[in-house]
Amino acid sequence: MLLINDLNVHFGAAHVLKNVSLSALPGAVTCIVGPNGSGKTTTLRAATGDVAYEGSITLNGHSLKRLEPWQAARLRGVLPQSSTLAFPFTVIEVVRIGLHTGEAGDQDHIALAALDKVDLAGYTNRPYHELSGGEQQRVHLARVLAQIPDAKPDDDPRWLFLDEPVASLDIAHQLQVMKIARDFADAGGGVVAVMHDLNLTSMFADKIVLMSDGSILAVGHPARVMTNATLSRAYRCDLRVSCPPPGNLPFLLPHAARAAAE
Ligand SMILES: Nc1ncnc2c1ncn2[C@@H]1O[C@H](COP(=O)(O)OP(=O)(O)OP(=O)(O)O)[C@@H](O)[C@H]1O
Ligand SMILES: [Mg+2]
C-alpha cells in the first residue's frame, strides 16, 4: 500500500503541496488528475523520493525515507512526465537501463518482452533520437516495465508510478498503455498514474484523486469524483458529464462542454 500522510512541499517561498493525504492500494489503478500546476507531478515525485517533503510516506509499510535506492528500485518503477537522454543510445540500450544488474543470466529477454508489450518489437537497434515523440515515450515505459517485470513476485506488490503515460500517444496506444496498467493492477501490483484525459481515467481508474491548488479536492470512484460540480470547480470552467451506455461510466463530452462555454 502507498500511504501519504500530511504531505507538504515547499519550493523556496512557494507552498506547493498543502497537507496532502492519500492512499493507493495494490490491485488497483489510482489516477491523480487536476489542472496544470495543481501539484500532481510534485505529489508523484514526493512518492518516488525525488522531492524533499514534510509528512510521512510509506510504501508497502516501508518509510520512504528509510528505503535505500536499490531497495526502492526493486519496489517501484517511475515514468517521469518528460525524459531527456544525453547520449546516442539505441532503443534496446535505453530499455536495458531498467534491468537490474548483478543477477545471473542474460536478461535481454526481459527488455525484449517489455518492448514487445509497448508495440516496439521491431525497434531494438533503432537510434532512440530518431524515434517520434510517442515512440520515445513508449521506449521509456518499456524501460520501466523492464525494471518491474512482475506485479507481485514473492507476494510483495510492486508499483508503477506513471506521470502522464499516454500524453503523446495515439488513441490505440493510449488504450494499450492503459491496458498494461490495468493488467499490472489485476495481477496484484499497484499503479499510480497522473492523467489529463478524464475519459480514459474514468474507463481505467479504480480511484481518482482530484487535485487543485496543491490540495486534494475530491477522492473516490470515478462516479463519485466526476460530477459537473466537482470538475467545474477544479478546472474553473463549466464542464458537463454524462453517463452513456454501455457501462454508464462518467464521460466528459467535449461538445457539451463547449455548449456550456458559449
Ligand atoms: N522545481 C520547482 N521549483 C519551483 N516551483 C516548482 C518546481 N516544480 C514545480 N513547481 C511549481 O509547483 C506547482 C505544481 O507543479 P506540478 O509540476 O506538480 O504541477 P502538475 O499538476 O503536475 O501540472 P501539469 O499538469 O502542468 O504537469 C507549479 O506551480 C509549479 O510551477
Ligand atoms: Mg505534471
CATH of the domain at 23: 3.40.50.300
pLDDT at 104: 43
pLDDT at 259: 67
Q: Where are the beta strands (DSSP E) in 103-206?
A: 159-163, 190-194
For residue 254, give the nearest of 245, 241, 244 by alpha carbon.
241
pLDDT at 253: 79
Let me know whether 200 and 149 are in one domain: yes
Ligand index nearest the alpha carbon of residue 211: 1
Let me know whether 182 and 241 are in one domain: no
User: What is the per-residue pLDDT across 59-115, written as a single tens digit (0 to 9) for each?
Assistant: 999 999 999 999 999 999 999 999 888 889 999 999 999 998 645 456 889 999 999
For 158-189, give one letter per residue: b (16+ CB within 10 A) or e: bbbbbbbbbbbbeeebbbbbbebbbebbeebb
Report the pLDDT averaged over residues 102-130: 87
Let me know whether 200 and 117 are in one domain: yes
Let me know whether 37 and 162 are in one domain: yes
Q: How far apart are CA 128 and CA 149, in angstroms?
A: 22
Sheet holding 76-79, edge to edge: 76-79, 159-163, 190-194, 29-33, 207-212, 215-220
pLDDT at 261: 66
Report the pLDDT averaged over residues 26-55: 97
Residue 166's region, left for phi above 0, alpha for psi from -120 to 50, else beta, is alpha
CB of 150 closer than 8 Å to CB of 66: no
Q: Is the peptide bond before 222 cis (omega within 30 degrees of 0)?
A: no
Let me know whether 256 and 135 are in one domain: no
Ligand index nearest the alpha carbon of residue 20: 1
pLDDT at 83: 87
Q: Where is pLDDT greater, at 260 or 138?
A: 138
Let me know whether 198 and 250 are in one domain: no
Report the pLDDT averaged over residues 181-194: 98
Q: How far apart are CA 131 and CA 145, in angstroms?
A: 19
Domain that holds residue 111: 2-226
Residue 116 has pLDDT above 90, yes or no: yes
Let me know whether 41 and 142 are in one domain: yes
pLDDT at 260: 65
Let me know whether 42 and 137 are in one domain: yes
Residue nearest to atom 18 of ligand 1 (CA): 39
CB of 77 closer than 8 Å to CB of 144: yes
pLDDT at 84: 85
Which of 7, 10, 16 is the best mutation target for the ligand 1 pocket, counting ligand atoms within 8 Å of the beta carbon and taking the most?
16
C-beta 41 within 6 A of ligand 1? yes
pLDDT at 247: 84
Which of 15, 33, 38 is the best mutation target for the ligand 1 pocket, counting ligand atoms within 8 Å of the beta carbon and taking the most?
38
Let me know whether 58 and 165 are in one domain: yes
Let me know whether 95 and 171 are in one domain: yes
Lowest mean pLDDT, pick from 67-71, 139-143, 157-161, 170-174: 67-71
For residue 143, give the nearest of 213, 89, 68, 198 by alpha carbon.
89
Let me know whether 26 and 38 are in one domain: yes
Cβ contacts of 66 within 8 Å, gap of 6 or more: none
C-beta 215 within 6 A of ligand 1? no
CB of 91 closer than 8 Å to CB of 115: yes
Let me know whether 79 and 185 are in one domain: yes
Residue 172 has pLDDT above 80, yes or no: yes
State how many domains the chain has.
2
